[in-house]
Amino acid sequence: MIDPELDPDIEWIAREAKRAVAVDPMAVERVMARVRLEPRPRVHDLRWRWIVEPRSLPLSPLVGAALAAGLVGIGILLGHSQIDRGGQTTPTGRPQAVAELRPPLAPHDTVIKFVLVAPQASTVAVVGDFNNWDAQATPMTRTPTGGTWSVAIPLHAGRHVYAFVINGANGTTQWVADPTAPLAPEDGLGAPNSVVLVGGSAS
């Protein structure tokens, strides 16, 4: 019994669907043939992860107080920066976004800031080829003052396809393109995606 509340007909369908499927014995080899053409997985992502992941550090009260004072200063600077970009927000409630370049983090990476105005959203995430279209990987943060969501992530040089995942307060989920960026060619056949070019000129 898969689920005690499931009626027998649905349970039968589920049981049939659970049967193992015949797999081509060469399929794994085909995967590995392609994998062997790839460079080794990038380890510098681990360094970025080390920077952004939360962690506990033992601190004396004196050092803690000094760090807290420093963080207040950083917060003020960031707040000033946010005010400077206030022109991106609109009162209309329609999502608006911009991918904004910042100085490179590493020789081949550039930090890209994604910004989306979506006042009605309960959560927003950016998805793309850089995070395997994983809606959990890169959540965006709502600004304290309104419906603007943003996140900054390092991207390799090149062309990246992305979209935003907006979860509404009523439980709906929408995948939307960046309204201020070029659409990816694939968009004509499916869900809309946008393109950002990193480290090169648009073509």
Binding site residues, other proteins, CB under 8 A? 2-3, 6-7, 9-10, 13-14, 16-21, 23-24, 27-28, 30-32, 34-36, 38, 40-46, 49, 125, 127, 131-137, 165, 167, 170-176, 186, 188-192
Nearest to 163 by CA among 203, 135, 123: 135
Looking at the Cβ atoms of 25 and 144, the one nearer to other proteins is: 25
Q: Which amino acid is at 32?
A: M
Whichever of 7 and 84 has its CB closer to other proteins, that residue is 7
Nearer to other proteins, 9 or 84 (CB): 9
Q: Which residue's CB is nearer to other proteins, number 17 or number 62?
A: 17
Find where tokens 């809606």 sit: 135
> Least Å distance between CB 101 and other proteins?
22
Q: How far is the CB of 201 from other proteins (least distance, A)?
A: 25
Is 163 or 196 the residue whose CB approaches other proteins more closely? 163
Whole-angstrom distance, CA of residue 158 vs CA of residue 160: 7
Alpha helices in 18-163 (DSSP H): 27-35, 44-52, 61-84
d(CA 84, CA 81) in angstroms, rounded, equals 5
In the complex, the smallest distance separating the C-beta of residue 193 from other proteins, rounded to whole angstroms, is: 9
What phi-psi label fits residue 133: left (phi over 0), alpha (psi between -120 and 50 degrees) or beta? left
Closest separation in Å from C-beta 124 to other proteins: 11
Residue 120 beta carbon to other proteins: minimum distance, rounded to whole angstroms: 13
Cβ partners under 8 Å of residue 187, min gap 6:
177, 193
Two tokens, residue 36: 């062997």
The secondary structure element, H or E, covering residue 200 is none
